[in-house]
Amino acid sequence: MRVGFIGLGSQGGPMARRIIEGGFGTTLWARRPASLEPYADTGATFAQSPAALAAASDLICLCVVGEADIEEVISGEQGLLAGLKPGSVLAVHSTVHPNTCRSLAKKLGSKGVSVIDAPVSGGGPAAAEGRLMVMVGGEADVVERCRPVFETYADPVVHLGELGSGQTTKLLNNLLFTANLGTAATALALAKSLGVSPERLTEVVSRGSGNSFALNVVGGEASLDRLAGLAGTLLQKDVRLVVDLAERAAASAGAVLDAADAALALMDHPR
């Protein structure tokens, strides 16, 4: 399988390198030529446009930030759509609304192109070590065709069901993480008010039943205000998307959404 990769950021870059090192013929494209320089010593080919990348690839992996970036890469005379071939697959690694992936599938289906959603979790270091989590939605046979590529940078690769289910799962995960951030930050602030060192509380709780990934994030070196600068905007985007999903499904998610909103408020106005 020939692979095209777009989105060589802090997470996408290591993913692309793992694909190359896994022995797959790989084509890269980036808006900024400087983003391609780290791959000059690899066997990767550099495309002049997204269309040229699509024409050279059986699987195209998108790891851009959001919907607007996907639309920019897909559209135009030199966009992916102009070069996609029947039988190829577009994998959306970006975290976006499930309906974005469904709309892409409708648009590309007439060209005989399959779409799967495959958002990832774990960050750049996990990608470099081949232990990202990939949450995949789409037709089972298409997912299995792509699995060997995904397994170069991910363990596990979890197929969750139909198209969009990977995005829904990733958004729910991020909702819980955001809500847990608020709970952890509040507990640490309360500890300080009660005369208990937040650092010592983190050390104790990290080995107890109250442990959580969020507590270790805000109780360690990455304080909530620092995290806000790194990921606050992305978490806000994801919580808004979950709100839309819940409203469309007429589902009750009040308590966890309230907790997530409280966490986002703390990021905007840290104590």
pLDDT, averaged per 10 consecutive residues of the chain (271 residues), comes to 96 97 98 95 96 98 94 95 97 96 95 97 94 98 98 98 96 87 86 92 94 84 59 76 79 68 65 48
174 and 75 in a common domain? no
What are the tokens at 107? 């648009």
pTM for the structure as a whole: 0.88
Last residue of a domain, one of 144, 162, 180: 162
Q: Is 253 exposed, middle or buried (0-12, 13-18, 19+ CB in 10 A)?
A: middle
107 and 16 in a common domain? yes
150 and 42 in a common domain? yes
202 and 123 in a common domain? no
Q: How many whole angstroms from its chain centre is CA 165?
A: 14
pLDDT score, position 241: 84
143 and 64 in a common domain? yes
263 and 154 in a common domain? no
Domain of residue 219: give its range: 168-268
Last residue of a domain, one of 162, 188, 218: 162
Distance in angstroms (rounded) separating the CA atoms of residues 232 and 261: 12
Strand partners, 59: 3, 89
Last residue of a domain, one of 118, 139, 162: 162
pLDDT score, position 225: 65
Catalytic residues: 170
Domain count, the chain: 2
179 and 110 in a common domain? no
